[in-house]
Amino acid sequence: MDLDGSEQDPEVQEHSPVYVGREEDIKKSERMTAVVHDREVVIFYHKEEYHAMDIRCYHSGGPLHLGEIEDFDGRPCIVCPWHKYKITLATGEGLYQSINPRDPSAKPKWCSKGVKQRIHKVTVDNGSIYVTLSNEPFKCDSDFYATGDFKVIRSPF
């Protein structure tokens, strides 16, 4: 008999929603951190929307919860405090500016490197916030710092 759920398929367990805090608290602080099934995530509340992503930057593991949020090309991004990489809150894409070398007078354009930071799902139920880890099967660069040898879970003590 499986009274405590410990015999549940680990795959299923890993993608069940986890309570991370109260809506009223994140609305005040506009961000919070949490450990969801052994994975560190940051949750942002920005312009009345919630966004959750791996806490460590895909580039070199920088602490995204300490970054500033700015709009680039009309897209809200977290700017990593270490080397200023820009990551879209909604999709986890890495943005960069490119210049056409054949036309140096042209204005630099914002381009996407594709999804680099894993985005997780936030749900709100009766004032409680839950995060469900992404189960998108692609390999995301931020997985490197969220799993395996480079995973750093901060001790609560």
The smaller minimum CB distance to ligand FES, of residues 23 and 144, is found at 144
Contacts with ligand FES by CB under 6 A: the residue count is 9
Beta strands 18-22 and 109-115, pairing class:
unpaired
Give 151: exposed, middle or buried? Use CB within 10 Å, 0-12, 13-18, 19+. middle
The smaller minimum CB distance to ligand FES, of residues 17 and 81, is found at 81
Q: Minimum distance between the CB of residue 44 and ligand FES, rounded to whole angstroms? A: 16
DSSP 8-state secondary structure symbol assigned to residue 9? -
The smaller minimum CB distance to ligand FES, of residues 34 and 87, is found at 87
Which of 51, 59, 65, 118 contacts ligand FES by CB under 6 A?
Answer: 59
45 binding ligand FES? (CB under 6 A):
no
The smaller minimum CB distance to ligand FES, of residues 61 and 92, is found at 61
Which of 80, 119, 122, 129 contacts ligand FES by CB under 6 A?
Answer: 80
Report the C-alpha dihedral over residues 121, 144, 13, 18, rounded to 10 degrees. -40
The smaller minimum CB distance to ligand FES, of residues 52 and 61, is found at 61
Please, how many CA atoms are within 13 Å of residue 84, restricted to the half-sphere of its CB? Answer: 3
85 binding ligand FES? (CB under 6 A):
yes
Q: Minimum distance between the CB of residue 97 and ligand FES, rounded to whole angstroms? A: 15
82 binding ligand FES? (CB under 6 A):
yes
Where are the extended beta strands (E) located within the chain?
A: 18-22, 31-36, 39-46, 49-54, 68-72, 75-79, 86-88, 93-98, 109-115, 119-125, 128-132
